[in-house]
Amino acid sequence: MTIELPKLPYEHNALEPIISQKTIEFHYGKHHQAYVNNLNNLIKGTDLEKKDLVEIIKTSEGGVFNNAAQVWNHTFYFYQFIPGGKGQPSEDFLNAIEKQWGSLEDFKKEFNTASATLFGSGWAWLVKNKEGKLEITKESNAGTPLTKGLRPILTFDVWEHAYYIDYQNRRPDYLNALWSIINWDEINKRFAE
């Protein structure tokens, strides 16, 4: 099975000014594509070639894991956005957020803090644990909640290539801006799964 770069559900300039076309061209068009290409080259001729992406992530390590996880993480990240943002958290999702953090605004602050304070490169995640409780986790490099039995709901990519063209070293500005392009309908669907 060949892993393919998924087509974005919006045009490359559609998230401006939050995420510029130039950033999409580098982040999606070059970085995300490179992970896809690297993974296909690494699994060619192996038993992993017959597995789907999630199976590869859960059964591999080293370079194969890094590239597979980055393909999955990036796809998850890009598919949570929509030009201008859309919707609101569902009633059930908002209740779960309020139970855990007090309010949506308090959740956003804590999520931004987790994202801003992750040292180096990686990902901040909102996940649902095995008991159904929401948690904020941080993963370095290609780390993903898929390997820990957690259900991912939302993620912010804090690798510099995700924001440096548009925000330089102002990671907190990038994080604050992302909330305005969240597709809450997609996030609500992920929460309800």
pLDDT tens, residue by residue, 62-87: 999 999 999 999 999 999 999 999 99
CATH 3.55.40.20-classified regions of the chain: 91-192
For residue 142, give Cα distances in angstroms to 17, 37, 88, 102, 104: 27, 16, 29, 30, 27
Give the closest residue to 84 by CA, choosing from 21, 15, 25, 12: 15
| Ramachandran angles phi, psi of 183, nearest 5° | -95, 90
Q: What is the mean pLDDT of the chain?
A: 96
| 46-64 pLDDT, tens digit each | 999 999 999 999 999 999 9
CATH 1.10.287.990-classified regions of the chain: 21-78
Q: pTM of the entire structure?
A: 0.95
CATH code, 91-192: 3.55.40.20
Determine the Cα–Cα distance for residues 112 and 85; give it in Å rounded to an integer: 18
Say yes or no to pLDDT of 167 above 90.
Answer: yes
Give the closest residue to 112 by CA, choosing from 173, 65, 165, 169: 173
- Please state the rounded mean pLDDT for residues 160-188: 97
| 5-61 pLDDT, tens digit each | 999 999 999 999 999 999 999 999 999 999 999 999 999 999 999 999 999 999 999
**Has domain 21-78 been given CATH number 1.10.287.990?**
yes
Say yes or no to pLDDT of 1 above 90.
Answer: no
